[in-house]
Structure formats: structure tokens, C-alpha cells
Chain A
Amino acid sequence: MSDTVETATAAPGTPPEKTPAPAGALERLRRPRTYLWLVGSVLLLAFPFYLDRFWLQAGLFAMAAAIGAIGINLLTGATGQLSMGHAFFLAVGAYSYCVLAGESSTENGHALTGLGLPTWLAAILAVLLAGVAGGVFSPIAGRLRGAYLGIATLALIFIGQHVLFNAGSLTGGFNGRPVPPLSVFGFTFDDTEVLVAAVPFQSSEKLWYVALLALLLSGLFARGVLRGRPGRALNAIRDHRIAAGVMGVPVARYRAGVFVLSSMYAGLAGVLLALVFQRTVPEYFGMILSLEYLAMIVIGGLGSVAGAVVGAAFVSLMPQVLTHYSDSLPLVSAPGTGGLAPGEASRYLYGAAVVAVVLFLPGGLTRLKKPGEKK
């Protein structure tokens, strides 16, 4: 019985079995990390009251990307299975949500199919559908290792793009389709203004908390998996596949399993991105997006939740920062004025960041401080 009590009180960040003597509350109060977390949490909760819409959008973006990055870090970082198909599963999540939650309608002469399910249910089903799509591909994902899987998943991108552009009644074709706003217990996360402490809340402000909660839960789930039995098995497959099998790890089953899990993370990220964008367009879910997710985990740090989050923040906030400060930055100018557009500039920048990290910081940004330590 005492077990249960202990687990309930132990903070998730401090795995009880790794610290020789379980850290008490006092001990934790003395650690600077506790305060960093505290300040960070307060800031994250307060942002919607202070930041303008531009930065809220950027933050929402980063949070959704972080969830997707955690997913691909489970697969590529922790298991060593390369995937180029992450964007495909993001698309499955985003479009499934639209089809399941949207009403049948006609837009620009296109008939759009929609099931009109409650939006919260559609969001859950969309994540599950992304998992199912991963499951369909998992016999291949279980058999192929490392770079070979990367090549095979390229097929998903091509198939995905073809379907998105051509299955017009589901996807809306080139123009995409509108995203029905999320609604939970009668509360709708749309642009109708709600006053909270004299601050008008529109969709960005409201969605902020949805995204924050989703990110928190996804991060905790992944961390639990990584530091537990499945995580050890996945790392063993990455580090020494043959030894993993000999130790009793069913290698193909775990590869398939983590592929499905990673797809579901992508699906959730896709749903959130759709809600933030308020419109899904096929172009977005291309090869570049897959590469961006790989860049995130390389920059942030392979194989850990923190690495995925830091990398996602870096890669998705960079274009926004450059856009915002394009006036005061040399070479970078507003889009369409002839100079280097912020999007392009940021791509060069994180291209350079990837190379720099691979060369000088093999553990990624999150290993910056303590090179000797493990994740």
C-alpha cells in the first residue's frame, strides 16, 4: 500500500528509483530546477493575458510542434528508426478531425464530406485514426531498420500528398478545408470574445490552455514510457539490436509499437495545428515538414522529451522571431520585398543549427549544460 502513496507524491521529474535516497520536499526546495519549473509554469499560464495574438499564435505553433516532435523522438531518437513520414501522420490527424467534426457542405463548388461528430470526440478519434494509419504501416516499420525505414516512409509522403490534393470531397483539394472550432462541455474555443479578468479571450487565448494541457500530458506519457521498461527496450534496439533480441526484447514488435505511438503523437499535433490554423491545406504536409521535425529533435536532443520540446520551440519560433524583427535585421526583409524572406532566412539558420549541433553538440541543446550526464 505504501507503494501507491509514494508514487502519488513523488514528482514525475524525479524518478524515485534513480535517486539513492528519495528526495524529500525540503531537498527539492533547495534545487534551482524547482524554481525554474515554477517560474516557467506561471509564465506559461499567464502568457494569454499579456502576449499579443502574433506571439500567442507562435507559441501555439511551438506547442503543437513539440507534441509532434516528442512522437518522432520516441521513434527516431529513442529507437533509432528514421522516419520521413511524420508529416503524413500529422495530415491524417488534421484532416481526420476536419472530416469527423465538420458538417457536409459545399465550398467553392467542392462538395465536402463531414460527419458532424462532437468536436472533442472527433479530436480523440483523429488521434486514434493516426494510430491506425501507423498500424497499417507497422508491418513494414517492424521489419526495416534505421535508414531503410526512412526510405520506405518517403512513400507515405508521396501517397499522402497525392491523396490530399486529389480526394477533394474529403480534403477539399488544393484549397484545403475549414477546421471546425473545438468545443468541450459547451465551451467553444473559437473567436467569439470572452472577457477573462478584463482581457478579451479569442481562439488563440482559449486554445493556449488546451495546447498547454495536451503538451503536458503528452510529455508526461512519453517520459513515463522512456524511463520505464518499454523505453529501455527501445534504447536497446537502437544501441545494439542483436543484444536487445538476445535479452528477450521482441524487436519487430517494439519497432511496430513505437511506430504506432509516434503516429498518434503526430496525429494529436496535426489536430492542434489544424485548430490553430483554422484551415488545413495540403501543401503544408509535405517533405519539408517531415524534415523540420527531424531538425527539431537533432537540434534539441535525440531520445528525450526535453530535447523534443526545446528543438520544437527553436525551429518553430525562429521564423516568427525573424518575421517580427525583420526590420531591424540585416539581409532579412518582409516577404515579397525582394530580400531574404523570414521563412527562408530561418530555414538557412536552422540548417546551420543542425550542422553545428551535429558537429559540436552531439547531444543537442538540452545536453549543453552537463555533457557527462545522461538524459
Chain B
Amino acid sequence: MRTAPATTAPTTAPAALAVRDVTVRFAGLTALDAVSFTVEPGSVHAVIGPNGAGKSTCFNVLSGVYRATSGTVHLGDTELTGRAPHRIAALGVARTFQNLALPPHATVAESMLLGRHRLTRSGFVSTGLWLPSAAREARRHLQRVREIAEFIGLEKELDHPAGALPYGKQKLVELGRALCMEPQVLLLDEPVAGMTADERRRVAAVVAGVRDSLGISIVLVEHDMGVVMRLADAVTVLDFGRRIAGGTPAEVQNDPAVVRAYLGAQE
């Protein structure tokens, strides 16, 4: 379980992820309304809230997919807002998607290799000419992909088409692909939704393991309160795009505003 991380101590000092007054509007709808929170380096920070609260929108801003209408996001001293997704990825921010975003035909190994994109260099010329350097690079990184697959319990599925796996396993592949980016910050959008109890335990153990051994900061959107309470060091609660509470899991759990939001949203 703890073997995978060894080779990848982050090269830069861990940095805090600071979200300041971020507002996102879609044609009249305010999906995020002046939301602020800070993810301490090496912590697990849960973002919770009813459906439609703006959690995924928040991730989309953090990863550069959406542009914030106003407000800023900083990773350490570097501003993330306004950068293209691939530039944010280059700074070591990785994410998974709430709805799967895996290639339909590629194998698990190939899907995870895509996560190595930012860490590899081979281009059109070196791969087209079958240069040994490209083959060497591919082999080295495939080795790392195997380690990570083992770490998350996917080693047997490496040569299977990712799209043909059960839903829970596909979510694991997404997590693996994000880990393959050797990130500083990992954004997980409902990582255990649709998983079996066994897979849930696995993901929880991976998340805790990644934080403890690598010092990666993790932002976690999750509905499973058991998982949140067990893993999170801090919690931010969103409702209708507003931050209505924040603090330690225990503080948040007893916050009347949170109880109200959740009871009101019970279906």
C-alpha cells in the first residue's frame, strides 16, 4: 500500500491553495457567490453541500475549465485564475471528474499514461522516428503507472479497456490517472459515488495514504458523510453558491446552518 509514493517527493515546497471571493455567473444564474476558503498544504479539505450548490463549478474554476467572473485562486504565490487548464496542470494540479471522462477504447494503462503527459517529453518527431529515447521514456513511465495501479488495486486491469470496467473501477482509473500526474494538489469530485463498499474503503485508504506520505493537498467533494468525517481535516459547506459554514468536521457537523441546508435539501 505504501510502496508507490516513495519516488515522488514533491520537488517544490508544499503551497496553500487560496480561493478568494470567487464568483461564477452563468447567464443570470450565480453558481458561486464570493466564495473563499484556503486549503492548507498537505491537508484533506472537503467541500460539501446539496446538489447544485456549486461544488463542481468550484472545481472547474480551480482547474481552469471555467473562468471566474471575479475573484482569484492562488497556489502559493502563483495565480491560477486566468490560466489555461494545461498550464494549471503543469503547476501540479490534478483532478477527477464527477461524471467519468475516460477514453472509450484505451486500456487502463494507456488511460493512466495520459496522466504522465506533463512529466514526459517525446513529441511527434521522436515517436514517429521510433527513437530509443522515446521508447525508454515510455517504458520508464509505464513502470511508474504499474506502481500506481498496484497502489490503488488496479494492477490486474491494466491491459483491459477502461471503458469496459464496472463503474466503480472506472472511477478508480480516474483517480489513478490523476495520481499519475504526481500532483501537488488533487481535486476529487465525488470519488466514491457509485462504488462498492470495498472500493470505497480502498479510495479512503488511498486518499489518506497520499496525504500522509506525499504531503499532497486534497480537495474532496463528497456526499458520503462517513468518508468526509473520517478523512477531512477541514470542511467548507456550500449552499446555492454561497459558503455557509467552514471549520473542522466536528464544528461543521453541529452548525445549525449546515443542518438546515441539508434538511431542506433532503429528497
Contact = CB atoms under 8 A, between A and B. Distances in A.
Interface size class of B (residues with CB under 8 A): 35 or more
B106 A374 contact: yes
Contacts of B120: 229
Contacts of A242: 65, 85, 101
Contacts of B84: 245, 250
A240 B127 contact: no
B124 A225 contact: yes
Contact of A374 (B88, B107, B126, B135): B107
B134 interface: yes
Prevailing SS type, chain A contact patch:
helix
Contacts of A261: 124
A365 B234 CA distance: 55
Contacts of B26: none
B138 A229 contact: yes
A7 B130 contact: yes
A17 B126 CA distance: 17
B112 to A, nearest CB: 10
A246 B105 CA distance: 19
Contact of B115 (A8, A16, A247): A247
A235 B118 CA distance: 16
B97 interface: yes
Interface string A210-238: 00000000001110110111111101100
Contacts of A248: 86, 89-90, 117-118, 181
Contacts of B169: none
B105 A375 contact: yes
A231 B138 CA distance: 12
Nearest to A375: B105
B223 to A, nearest CB: 22
B86 A229 contact: no
Contact of A245 (B85, B103, B123, B134): B85
Contact of A243 (B101, B104, B129): B101
A114 to B, nearest CB: 31
A343 to B, nearest CB: 35
Contacts of A230: 122-124, 127
B129 A221 contact: yes
A321 to B, nearest CB: 32
B139 interface: yes
A250 B106 contact: no
Contacts, number: 120
**Which of B103, B115, B124, B136 has the most chain A CB within a 10 Å cutoff?**
B124
A5 to B, nearest CB: 9
Contact of B63 (A12, A222, A229, A246): A246
Nearest to B164: A372
Given A243-B97, A245-B84, A248-B117, A235 B103 contact: yes
B113 interface: yes
Contact of A221 (B89, B101, B128): B128
Nearest to B140: A3
A293 to B, nearest CB: 20
B128 A3 contact: no
A247 B114 contact: yes
A225 B132 contact: no
A247 B117 CA distance: 7
Contacts of B95: 246
Nearest to A252: B84
Interface in B62-119: 63-65, 84-86, 88-90, 94-95, 97, 101-107, 109-110, 113-115, 117-118
A16 B177 contact: no
B142 interface: yes
Contacts of A16: 135, 139
A3 B122 contact: no
Contact of B127 (A18, A231, A246, A375): A231
Nearest to A235: B103
A3 B139 contact: yes
A175 B89 CA distance: 54
Contact of B159 (A18, A228, A243, A375): A18
A232 B113 contact: yes
A114 B102 CA distance: 52
Contacts of A236: 103, 114
A149 interface: no
Contacts of B107: 18, 374
Given A221-B128, A246-B85, A229 B117 contact: yes
Nearest to B85: A245
Contacts of B124: 225, 230, 257, 261
B256 to A, nearest CB: 37
Nearest to B115: A247
Interface string A14-43: 001110100000000000000000000000
Interface string A313-351: 000000000000000000000000000000000000000
Nearest to B178: A247
Given A222-B128, A235-B103, A246-B86, 20 more contacts: A3-B135, A3-B136, A17-B138, A17-B139, A17-B142, A221-B128, A230-B127, A232-B110, A232-B117, A233-B117, A235-B106, A239-B103, A246-B64, A246-B88, A246-B89, A248-B118, A250-B86, A257-B124, A374-B161, A375-B105
7 contacts: A18-B109, A221-B129, A229-B113, A230-B124, A239-B102, A243-B101, A246-B65
Q: Which 10 A-B pairs have the closest CB atoms?
A: A228-B127, A248-B118, A245-B85, A248-B89, A243-B101, A221-B128, A239-B103, A240-B101, A229-B122, A7-B135
Interface of B: 63-65, 84-86, 88-90, 94-95, 97, 101-107, 109-110, 113-115, 117-118, 120-124, 126-130, 132, 134-139, 142, 159, 161, 177, 181
Interface of A: 3-4, 7-8, 12, 16-18, 20, 220-222, 224-225, 227-233, 235-236, 239-240, 242-251, 257, 261, 374-375
